[in-house]
C-alpha cells in the first residue's frame, strides 16, 4: 500500500509569511557580485519610518563628520553623495568586494550613531542593509551621477517650502564639488555653508568617461534608477 504524501510542510511556491511592503527591497539575502577597483558603485541606504527627516541642518553636520572619516583612504572613497528625506545616495569607489562590504558596514554604523546623536534618539536607523549596483558602463556612470546629485528634483525637494526655487544645486548634496555641470552654474552659497567632504574620483568612469554622453544640466530631473 502506498503511503499518503503529506500536504503539510516542504517548499511551495508562494508559501510562507508575506514580507512587509517596506522590506521588499531588503537586499540582505542578495549575494554581492565580485567587484574590481575599476568599477564604482551606486549605493543607497534607507532610514526607518521613525527616524526624523534627514534634510535638516543638524543631520547635514552629522554627515559631514562621518564623511571626514573616509577622506584620503586608498581603498575606499565616497565620490558623490546626496541626503534625501528618508535615504542616502552615494557613489563610491572600493578596491574590492570585501573592502566595499567592510567600509559600507562601517559607514552605516557611523552614520547611524551620528544621526541618533543629532536626533537625541536611540534605536535602529537604517531599515535594511545597503543596496548596491556596480557602475560598469559610461552611460550608466553618467546617469548615476545625475541621479544622485539631482535626486532632490526627482523627489520635488526643489519645490519644498522655504527652498529657493531658482537654486541650481542641492545644498544637501556634494553638487558644489562636482565639475561636470553643463553651462555656467550660478549658485548663491548659503552663509556659513560648508560642503560635504568627498574624495576625488580615481576610476576612469567617474573621472571622464561618463562625459561621452554629455555633461549634466543642473535642472535635469532623473528618472527611475536602472
Of the two residues 48 and 27, the one the predictor is more confident about is 48
Q: What pLDDT, on the 0 to 100 scale, is given for residue 96?
A: 95
Q: 104 in a domain, yes or no?
A: yes
**Domain range for residue 125?**
35-213
Q: What pLDDT, on the 0 to 100 scale, is given for residue 118?
A: 98
Q: Taking 50 as the threshold, does the pLDDT of residue 226 lie above it?
A: no
Q: 18 in a domain, yes or no?
A: no
Q: Taking 90 as the threshold, does the pLDDT of residue 218 lie above it?
A: yes
Give the CATH number, domain containing residue 78.
3.30.70.1290
Q: Taking 80 as the threshold, does the pLDDT of residue 12 lie above it?
A: no
Q: 16 in a domain, yes or no?
A: no
Q: Taking 70 as the threshold, does the pLDDT of residue 56 lie above it?
A: yes
Does the pTM exceed 0.75? yes
Q: 223 in a domain, yes or no?
A: no
Of the two residues 92 and 19, the one the predictor is more confident about is 92
Q: 13 in a domain, yes or no?
A: no
Task: Give the total number of structural domains in the chain.
Answer: 1
Q: What pLDDT, on the 0 to 100 scale, is given for residue 5?
A: 53
Give the 3-state secondary structure of the chain. Answer: CCCCCCCCCCCCCCCCCCCCHHHCCCCCCCCCCCCCCCCCEEEEEEECCCCCCCCCHHHHHHHHHHHHCCCCCCCEEEEEEEECCCEEEEEEEECCHHHHHHHHHHHHHHHHHHHHHHHCCCCCCECCCCEEEECCCHHHHHHHHHHHHCHHHHCCHHHCCCCCCCCCCCCCECHHHCCCECCCCCCCCCCCCCCCCCCCCCCHHHHCHHHHHCCECCCCCCCCCC
**Grid coordinates of 112:** 547611524
Q: What pLDDT, on the 0 to 100 scale, is given for residue 32?
A: 65
Q: What pLDDT, on the 0 to 100 scale, is given for residue 24?
A: 52
Q: 25 in a domain, yes or no?
A: no
Q: What is the pLDDT of residues 166-209, one digit of tens each?
A: 788 999 999 999 999 998 887 878 888 999 999 999 999 999 99
CB 55 within 8 A of CB 157: yes
Amino acid at each position: 500500500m502506498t503511503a499518503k504524501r503529506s500536504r503539510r510542510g516542504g517548499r511551495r511556491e508562494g508559501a510562507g509569511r508575506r514580507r512587509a511592503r517596506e522590506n521588499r527591497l531588503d537586499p540582505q539575502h542578495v549575494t554581492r557580485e565580485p567587484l574590481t577597483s575599476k568599477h564604482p558603485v551606486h549605493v543607497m541606504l534607507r532610514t526607518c519610518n521613525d527616524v526624523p527627516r534627514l534634510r535638516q541642518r543638524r543631520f547635514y553636520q552629522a554627515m559631514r563628520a562621518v564623511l571626514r572619516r573616509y577622506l584620503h583612504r586608498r581603498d575606499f572613497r565616497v565620490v558623490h553623495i546626496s541626503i534625501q528625506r528618508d535615504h542616502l545616495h552615494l557613489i563610491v569607489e572600493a578596491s574590492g568586494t570585501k573592502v566595499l562590504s567592510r567600509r559600507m558596514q562601517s559607514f552605516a554604523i557611523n552614520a547611524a550613531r551620528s544621526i541618533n546623536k543629532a536626533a537625541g534618539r536611540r534605536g535602529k536607523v537604517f531599515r535594511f542593509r545597503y543596496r548596491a549596483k556596480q557602475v560598469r558602463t559610461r552611460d550608466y556612470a553618467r546617469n548615476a551621477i545625475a541621479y544622485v546629485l539631482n535626486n532632490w528634483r526627482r523627489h520635488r525637494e526643489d519645490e519644498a517650502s522655504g527652498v529657493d526655487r531658482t537654486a541650481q544645486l542641492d545644498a544637501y548634496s556634494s553638487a558644489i564639488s562636482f565639475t561636470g555641470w553643463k553651462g555656467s552654474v550660478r549658485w548663491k552659497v548659503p552663509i556659513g555653508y560648508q560642503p560635504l567632504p568627498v574624495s576625488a574620483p580615481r576610476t576612469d568612469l567617474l573621472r571622464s568617461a561618463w562625459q561621452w554622453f554629455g555633461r549634466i544640466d543642473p535642472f535635469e530631473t532623473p528618472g527611475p534608477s536602472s
